[in-house]
Amino acid sequence: MTVCTIDEALEDRLLLGAGLGDLSTWATWRTVLKATYGLQLDPSEVPTFDVLAGGRPPPRERVAELWAVVSRRSGKSRMAAAVSVYVAAFIDHSARLAPGETGYVLVLSPSKSQARTVRDYCEGFIRASPDLEAMLLPSTTDEIRLCGNIVIAVHPASHRTVRGKTLLAVILDEVAYFRDEKSATPDIEVYRAVVPALATTYGILIAISSPYRKVGLLHQKHDRHFGKDGDVLVIQAATELLNPTIDRSAIERSRADDPEAAQAEWDGQFRGDLSSLLDDAVIEAAIDHDRPIELPPLPNIAYRCFADASAGRHDAFCIGVGHKEGDRLVIDVVRGRKPPFDPASVAAEYAEIAKSYRCLSVAADAYAGEWVSRAFEAAGVRFERSPMFKSALYLEMVAPFMRGTISIPNHPVLVRELRLLERRVAPSGKDRVDHPQGGSDDHANVVAGVMSLLAFQSTYTLEHL
C-alpha cells in the first residue's frame, strides 16, 4: 500500500473514504486527525481547531497521544476504526519490525460487544476499498490480519492481555467506561501497560471517549493538557460539532429530561453531579493488611450479620459479619458467590456462617424480596429487614470511614467496589449512592449493612445479652 497522510486516506474514495459516505459530515474529525499527525491545517480549519483544543496552537509534528473527549453519536467507534486501519495499512513500519516480527494495532473497548463493533467497522473500511481488501489475510473474530505481518487486534480492555506484543498504535475506545472485576483503576493500569511498548516503536496512543465523572485517566489528561501546547493533544467537542447530521430535537429532549446527564452525553462535558463516596486514602486507612481475609469467631463476642441476596442470574449473593470493639467497627467476614447459583442453597450456606458466629438473625436491605426471608428462615435463622434503603446505608457509613473507626479486610473485590461507589446529588438536593453503570456493589453493600447494625450498638459480649 502506498504511504500517504491520514487526510489523503480519508478523502480518497478508493481508500478510507470508500467507507465514510458523505465526506463533508466528517470535516471536523478530519481537522482533528490532521492536527494529531502534525499536518498543516487549512485556514478554514484553524478556528474549528481553536474551539476543539481550548486555544492551544496546532501541533507542528505528530503528537504522542490524542485524547478526544466527545459525546454520543459523534462517530467515535468509526473514527477509532478508521485510525486503526490507517496505522495498519498506510504507514511503513518495516524499519521498526524485525524480520518475522508481528506489529499490532491494538484497539481496547469496555466490553466484548463494543470491541466487536469496532472490529466490524475496521473490516468494513477494508472491504469497502479494493486496494485495502487486497491486503486482507484470513482473520479471526478478534484479529484482522494484513500483509506485512500487521494485525489489528480488538479486545475488551485489560492490562493483562496487552503485554508481550509489539505495539504500533493503541486505540482506547470509551476509556472513561473501562471496567475490571479486580481493579478500580483499569484505565490507568492499561495505560501503564501499553506506554512502554509504544515508546519502542514510536507508536501513537489515541483515546476517544464520552466523558463521565471527574475522576480517571480521561479527566486527568483533560485537566493537565487541554488548551496547553505539547505532545499530548486533548480535544473536547459536543456531538453537533462532530456530527452535523444529528437530530437536534432528540438532544433537546434529553436536556429537558436530565440536564446533568445531557452535558456528558451530548455536550462533551464531565458530569458535575457525580463524585466518589469515599476517597482512596480514607479506604486505604481502613484496611487492616496484617489480618487474614476472614477472622474466626471468638468467644463472648456479639456479632451481627447482613446479606445482599441475589436470585442467581446477575448479581453476586453476599454476606458480611462484624462486631464492635469500643468505638471501632470490625468487619470479620465478607463473602460473595457469583452467578449462576441456586439461591436457596447459598442462603442455607450463609445461614450456617451466621450460626457459626452466633448470629440468631440475618438482616438485608429494604429491597430484599420475600423469598430471601423464607430461604433464611427455612435454614433456621431469623430474617430481619433493614428499615433503610441502600443509599441511606452507604451515606451512614461515611462517618465511621472518615473518623477512622472501621477495620476492613484487604478483600480486592470489596476494596474495588468501595472505590467506585458514586454519590449523586439529585435535583431535589437529596444524595443518592450507587455503583457506576455496568458495575456492582454487592460486597460493599453488606459492609454498609453490618456497619449500620453495629453503629448504634453498645460494646457488649454475649454475657450481657
Q: 272, 289, 324: which is the final residue of a domain?
A: 272
Range with the poorest average pLDDT among 72-76, 273-277, 454-458: 454-458
Domain CATH number, residue 452: 3.30.420.240
- Residue with the bigger pLDDT between 71 and 330: it is 330
Nearest to 369 by CA among 424, 455, 443, 310: 310
Nearest to 170 by CA among 181, 179, 162: 162
DSSP 3-state of 414: helix
Residues 186, 62 share a domain: yes
Range 273-299 average pLDDT: 90
Give the total number of structural domains in the chain: 2
Percentage of the residues of the chain whose pLDDT score is greater than 70: 93
Q: What is the pLDDT of residue 66?
A: 97
Q: What is the pLDDT of residue 311?
A: 75
Range 102-118 average pLDDT: 89
Range with the poorest average pLDDT among 159-163, 267-271, 354-358, 430-434: 159-163
Residues 166, 308 share a domain: no
Range with the poorest average pLDDT among 50-59, 151-160, 194-203: 151-160
Neighbours of 288 (CB within 10 A): 14
Residues 139, 100 share a domain: yes
**Is residue 199 one of the residues assigned to a domain?**
yes
Q: Which band of pLDDT confidence, cut at 50, 70 and 90, is reported for residue 309?
A: confident
**Is residue 284 one of the residues assigned to a domain?**
yes
Max avg pLDDT among 167-171, 425-429, 461-465: 167-171
Residues 376, 432 share a domain: yes
What CA–CA distance (Å, rounded) separates 293 from 304?
Answer: 17
Range with the poorest average pLDDT among 215-219, 259-263, 406-410: 259-263
Element of type H or E holding 419: helix 412-420
Residues 245, 150 share a domain: yes
Return mean pLDDT, the chain.
88
Nearest to 69 by CA among 150, 174, 151, 169: 174
Question: Is pLDDT at 303 greater than 70 in this prediction?
Answer: yes
Residues 167, 25 share a domain: yes
Provide the residue range defining the domain that includes 304.
280-464
Q: Which residue carries 442462603 as its cell?
A: 347
Render the burial of 87-122: b for 16+ CB within 10 Å, e for the rest: bbbbbebeeebeeeebbbbbbbbbeeebbebbbebb
**Is residue 253 one of the residues assigned to a domain?**
yes
Range 342-351 average pLDDT: 91
Question: Is pLDDT at 249 greater than 70 in this prediction?
Answer: yes
pLDDT tens digits, residue range 365-419?
766 667 888 888 888 899 888 888 888 899 999 999 999 999 999 999 999 899 8
Question: Is pLDDT at 465 greater than 80 in this prediction?
Answer: no
Q: What is the pLDDT of residue 184?
A: 65
What CA–CA distance (Å, rounded) separates 449 from 389?
Answer: 10
**Is residue 1 one of the residues assigned to a domain?**
no
Q: What is the pLDDT of residue 367?
A: 63
What is the pTM for the complete model shown? Answer: 0.73
pLDDT tens digits, residue range 16-54?
999 888 888 899 999 999 999 999 999 999 999 999 999
Q: 239, 272, 305: which is the final residue of a domain?
A: 272
Q: What is the pLDDT of residue 456?
A: 66
- Residue with the bigger pLDDT between 320 and 344: it is 320
What would the grid cell of residue 359 be? 448470629
